[in-house]
């Protein structure tokens, strides 16, 4: 390990599947140590995790970082969005956390939208129309299905809030993660008392929203993590906002993230209010906005298809007539929470490789369909798409995005952008800089640019046609959980 040019900071990514920790030189952005530990997600009717697993995984990830973590001057937690963490009077989980991809609250999402003002009201008030992923719908589901858990709840947190509070002993969140709850008003940047009253949630149960650049607290000494007591703790943020920081995004630069879920987003100076619900009007972590569209089915769904077919994930073959909508977990974009996968155009001569390519096409089509809605009108339509996430280094994903977008694609060499963005937020506490400016100083977007190719309009039109014809059937399909 080379000598550090600046103080060391720790950035954490507590994602759906695992916790990753990076120890980063705040001066250069060099990653000097890293660690990772897995989580367990239930595979039953819903998607749940015990929050204590996240804490144990943080311990293990930091242990793998060795002595470098002990030298850290600041730490920040990035985490999966939307999850509902309910804590009792002792700060212990009342039940497992309901995760973002738990779609059981789809009926509550529809009911809340209809009964509380309609889609336009929600978009203008909170920036987003409730979907099954949003925390407010999960709270409503809990009230209807587990009232005893509701009565036992003395604090409501998001996943990153839970870990930050275990570090500091103080209940805090940030504006970006708060904006994904459905009970934070983007117009006023505060909790919406009318919505909270309608869902029966006492605002006293919610964490304080820290401002961008504000210290959330310091590390307390009631645990055996490697941090020195008094180490600064940043406000943390949700995973997409953390990745945006990690990329040092400027307004108008489009990002396509290929992970368990797929997302497209860009930083904007304008507060988003999309009444169709396609674009979530999130805040970002440093004072601007982060309009974002998300799909539930991305790399995990395609990998599942590859496994069923007995193929390597790169073993694709061109297809001209086959359409596969890989909605294995229901879907958020388009909003079909009860859907299952659908295959159209299967013939005797169809190959396994063509089936796999069709799964890639279906997943990417959903993301690109929302891209124009995410970007401001003055965004450069020829600017490269920044391709990030676990799938970004896969050749099949790269070529599918290029072919269906018709745009150049840039693949940053920096890995673990959520944890890197959290590290930039921690570094900003020490230097007084905007964390995005820290990341730009670290040159985190450096990486190859793949030239644009002619857009495959025929495939885009075929998928759109199948989706339009099949939508009534998909809405009635049983959810595969």
347 close to 321: Cβ distance less than 8 angstroms: yes
Answer for the pair 128, 280: CB distance below 8 angstroms, yes or no. yes
Q: Are 119 and 275 in contact (CB under 8 A)?
A: yes
Question: What radius of gyration do the chain's Cα atoms show?
Answer: 21
Whether 405 contacts 382, CB under 8 Å: no
| Residue 292 contacts residue 279 (beta carbons within 8 Å) | yes
Non-local (6+) Cβ contacts of 318 within 8 A are 354, 357
- Determine how β-strand 155-157 pairs with β-strand 85-87: antiparallel
Choose among 203, 205, 168: nearest CA to 87.
Answer: 205
Pairing outcome for strands 31-38 and 18-25? antiparallel
Q: Is 420 in contact with 414 (CB distance < 8 Å)?
A: yes
The three-point CA angle 226-230-234 to 5° equals 90
Buried b / exposed e across 362-372, counting CB within 10 Å, b at 16+?
A: bbbbbbbbbbe
Assess contact for 381 and 355: CB atoms under 8 A.
no
Q: Is 429 exposed, middle or buried (0-12, 13-18, 19+ CB in 10 A)?
A: buried
Dihedral sign of CA atoms 198, 204, 205, 207 in order: positive
Number of H helices, E strands in the chain: 17, 24
* 157 CB neighbour count, 10 Å cutoff: 27
Residue 177: exposed, middle, or buried by beta-carbon count in 10 A (0-12, 13-18, 19+)? buried
- 202 included as an active-site residue: no
Nearest to 144 by CA among 121, 112, 117: 112
Integer Cα distance of 17 and 40 in angstroms: 7
**CA distance readout (Å), 429 to 26, 146, 289:** 10, 41, 21
- Give me the catalytic one of 25, 174, 239, 288: 239
| Catalytic center residues | 239
């Amino acid at each position: 390990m080379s000598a550090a040019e600046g103080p060391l900071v720790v950035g954490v990514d507590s994602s759906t599947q695992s916790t990753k920790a990076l120890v980063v030189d705040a001066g250069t952005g060099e990653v000097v140590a890293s660690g990772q530990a897995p989580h367990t997600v239930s595979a039953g009717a819903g998607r749940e995790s015990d929050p204590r697993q996240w804490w144990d995984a943080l311990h293990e990830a930091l242990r793998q970082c060795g002595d470098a973590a002990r030298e850290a001057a600041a730490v920040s937690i990035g985490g999966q969005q939307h999850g509902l963490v309910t804590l009792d009077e002792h700060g212990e989980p009342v039940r497992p956390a309901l995760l973002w991809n738990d779609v059981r609250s789809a009926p509550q999402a529809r009911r809340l939208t209809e009964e509380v003002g309609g889609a336009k009201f929600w978009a203008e008030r909170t920036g987003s129309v409730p979907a099954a992923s949003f925390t407010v719908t999960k709270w409503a589901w809990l009230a209807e299905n587990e009232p005893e858990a509701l009565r036992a709840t003395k604090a409501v947190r998001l996943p990153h809030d839970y870990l930050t509070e275990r570090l500091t002993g103080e209940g805090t969140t940030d504006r970006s993660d708060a904006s994904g709850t459905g009970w934070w008003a983007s117009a006023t940047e505060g909790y919406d008392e009318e919505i909270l009253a309608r869902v029966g949630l006492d605002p006293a149960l919610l964490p304080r929203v820290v401002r961008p650049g504000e210290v959330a607290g310091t590390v307390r000494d009631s645990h055996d993590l490697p941090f020195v007591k008094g180490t600064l703790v940043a406000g943390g943020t949700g995973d997409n906002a953390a990745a945006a920081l990690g990329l040092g995004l400027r307004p108008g630069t489009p990002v396509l993230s290929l992970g368990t879920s797929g997302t497209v987003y860009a930083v904007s100076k304008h507060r988003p209010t999309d009444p169709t619900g396609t674009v979530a009007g999130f805040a970002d972590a440093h004072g601007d906005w982060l309009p974002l569209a998300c799909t539930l089915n991305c790399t995990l769904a395609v990998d599942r298809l590859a496994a069923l077919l007995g193929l390597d994930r790169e073993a694709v073959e061109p297809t001209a007539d086959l359409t596969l909508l890989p909605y294995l977990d229901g879907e958020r974009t388009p909003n079909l929470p009860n859907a299952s996968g659908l295959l159209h155009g299967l013939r005797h001569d169809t190959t396994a490789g063509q089936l796999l390519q069709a799964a890639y096409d279906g997943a990417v089509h959903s993301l690109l369909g929302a891209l124009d809605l995410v970007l401001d009108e003055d965004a450069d339509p020829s600017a490269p798409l920044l391709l990030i996430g676990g799938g970004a280094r896969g050749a099949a994903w790269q070529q599918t995005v290029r072919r269906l977008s018709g745009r150049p694609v840039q693949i940053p060499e920096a890995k673990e952008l959520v944890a890197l963005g959290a590290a930039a937020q921690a570094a900003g506490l020490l230097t007084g800089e905007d964390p995005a400016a820290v990341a730009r100083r670290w040159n985190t977007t450096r990486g190859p640019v793949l030239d644009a190719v002619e857009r495959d309009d025929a495939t885009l039109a075929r998928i759109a046609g199948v989706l339009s014809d099949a939508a009534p059937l998909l809405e009635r399909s049983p959810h595969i959980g």
